[in-house]
Amino acid sequence: MSLAHANNAAKFIANEERTNWHDDTLWFIRSKRDNAAASLPEWEQLREIASTIKAHTLDHLETYLIEFEANATKNGVQIHWANDALEHNAIVLNILNATNIKQMVKSKSMLTEECHLNQYLQANGIQVVDTDLGERIVQLRNEIPSHIVLPAIHLKKQDVSETFHQHLQSQKDNNDPTYLTRVAREHLREHFFASKVALTGVNFAVASTGSIVVCTNEGNADLGVHTADIHIASMGIEKLIPKPEHLSTFLRLLARSATGQPITTYSSHFTKPQAGKQMHVIIVNNKRTEQLAQDDFRSSLKCIRCAACFNTCPVYRRSGGHSYHTAIAGPIGSILSPNIDMKANADLPFASTLCGSCTNVCPVKIDIHNQLWKWRQRIVQEGYDATSKKVAMKGMSVVLANPKWYRLTGKLGRWMIKYFPSLANNPYLNVWAKQRNMPKVPDASFREWYIKNRKKV
């Protein structure tokens, strides 16, 4: 099993000051979420309803997808289907090539990160400009987002200032967030007005009307689409909900869970392309059907990408999104990405203490920590665990099944620690001892005490 996350996390933590800042910032967002949730007496009922709507939709997904396609098509929207990332990327390229356009603006879409769309298009001569401020910052720095809602959460304003000075000629050492945001506004407005193609993600796709809903605070999705001639919307198959009235439940939960706001600034409902313009929706699988086919993991597809689980996760807050080496980091990423590539992501379900906080904040009640446990069993059974661990575990299973061997091993361990403390406390031999002392050794085990003091012969 790769130790990727553990190694990356250790490097991140080595800068303790920055780790504390990252941890405090995200915990603050978690507390804003708590305040927002507490403001609605019906909060827990809303979670239950949202969870059931999503479970129902997944159980009838084939019907709802066909309904969505029929209604959207009636509205003049062109529907495309892509079974994997490459097919999705090729469809986007085809739409661009058909009109000979070489530039595109893109608002936030984690699906396109998953598909590595930007790299694909760049390799095919298309310039892609990410217009969400956080995404534009990381794009200029040649990084991937570290958080699905707050892409640049790992950066300080000095970092942004340096990047903007280097690429956008902003004033050197001017770290004022308002100034920097205005610089980005002017820079991106040029791109909005120049681009004829705009790609957006989809927060929710409504089956009964064929509409899609996109939620933003910055207005970049709408500005991009309305100044363009072609709107491409990329969505995973799981984004569907049955009817518009269901949006009320999800829109009440999404922003409160994500950032503690009652709603995002814009909740845009796209139903028909503007007269004379094109609208395309690409429905993408990329192994979601395989996740759906597994009883243990299918409910992970209820996810509405709010990142509340990231913000509450004590491990994520102290290791940073890049430690997870996937498009979607954090707890939900750790139960989605092993399905997409088990070998590359075998370490992720182990990057957790199984504390269960994620499950409690999830607005659609995904039992994330239980699925993390189940993925561990699957990964080991598929053979992606380290041989040394397999051997140790096999040994442990034998010892723990046999009372005499258990007692002997325990006694031996205590004896070793008592008489060879330098060995026991050696950080090179014993990882525990790197930053912790070993427990003090008692004179007798409880069993020994019990037999001496209590057992009736």
Partner 1 sequence: MRVQLFIPCYVDQFFPNVAIASLELLEKLGCEVVYPLHQTCCGQPMANTGYAHLASACDSNFAANFNGADYIVCPSGSCTLHIKEHLHVSDTTLQHNIRKHVYELNEFIVDVLGVKKIKATFPHKVGYHASCHGQRGLHLSSMSELMVAAFSKPAMLLQSVEGLSLYYPKRADECCGFGGTFCVTEEAVSVKMGVDRLQEHVANGVTYITGNDMSCLMHLQGIIDRQSLPLQTIHIAEILNKTETLCR
Partner 2 sequence: MSAREQILEAITRANANRNRTALPAFSYTAIQYTDLVAQFTEVLERIGAAVTVVDSLPVVKQWLQALPIGKASVYIQPNLMYSFDTAYLYQVDVAAMHGTIAVAENGAIWLPESNMGNRMLPFSTQQLVLIIAQQDIVHNMQEAYQYIDTSAQGYGVFIAGPSKTADIEQSLVIGAHGPIAMQVFIIKQVL
In the region spanning residues 150 to 189, those forming contacts with partner 2, defined by CB under 8 A, are 150-153, 155-157, 160, 177-178, 180-182, 184-185, 188-189
Candidate segments 56-64, 198-206, 268-276, 312-320, binder of partner 1 by CB under 8 A: 312-320
Region 303-332 residues binding partner 2, contact defined as CB under 8 A: none
In the bound state with partner 2, the residue whose beta carbon lies nearer, of 254 and 372, is: 254
- As a whole number of Å, the CA-based R_g of the chain is 26
| Partner touching 59 among partner 1, partner 2, none, CB below 5 to 8 Å by kind | partner 2
- Strand pairing partners for 105? 129, 198
234 near partner 2 (CB under 8 A): no
Candidate segments 247-255, 305-313, 336-344, 430-438, binder of partner 2 by CB under 8 A: 247-255
Length of the chain: 457
- Rounded to 5°, angle at Cα 205 from 50 and 261: 55
Among 206, 232, 281, 328, binds partner 2 (CB under 8 A): 206
376 near partner 1 (CB under 8 A): yes
In the bound state with partner 1, the residue whose beta carbon lies nearer, of 89 and 323, is: 323
Residue found by looking up tokens 């495309």 in the block = 80
For 107, phi and psi rounded to 5 degrees? -95, 180
Among 55, 140, 380, 441, binds partner 2 (CB under 8 A): 55
The torsion defined by the Cα of 54, 58, 62 and 64, in degrees rounded to 10, comes to -10
150 near partner 1 (CB under 8 A): no
38 near partner 1 (CB under 8 A): yes
Among 400, 408, 416, 423, binds partner 1 (CB under 8 A): 400
Among 118, 220, 300, 337, binds partner 2 (CB under 8 A): 220
Question: How many other CB atoms are there within 10 angstroms of residue 203's CB atom?
Answer: 25
| Partner touching 28 among partner 1, partner 2, none, CB below 5 to 8 Å by kind | partner 2
Region 330-359 residues binding partner 2, contact defined as CB under 8 A: none
d(CA 307, CA 313): 10
159 near partner 1 (CB under 8 A): no
Q: How many residues bind partner 2 (CB under 8 A)?
A: 93
Cβ-in-10-Å burial (0-12, 13-18, 19+) of 156 comes to middle
77 near partner 1 (CB under 8 A): no
Which residues, at least 6 apart from 31, have a Cβ–Cβ distance to it below 8 Å?
260
Q: 212: part of which helix (H) or strand (E)? A: strand 211-216
DSSP calls for 262-307 = SS-SEEEEE-SPPTT-EEEEEEE-TTHHHHHT-TTTGGGGG-----
d(CA 319, CA 153): 12
Among 353, 418, 420, 429, binds partner 1 (CB under 8 A): 353
Region 84-113 residues binding partner 2, contact defined as CB under 8 A: 87
* DSSP reduced 3-state for 343: coil
In the bound state with partner 1, the residue whose beta carbon lies nearer, of 42 and 176, is: 42
Closest contact distance (angstroms) between CB of 31 and partner 1 is 9
In the bound state with partner 2, the residue whose beta carbon lies nearer, of 227 and 360, is: 227
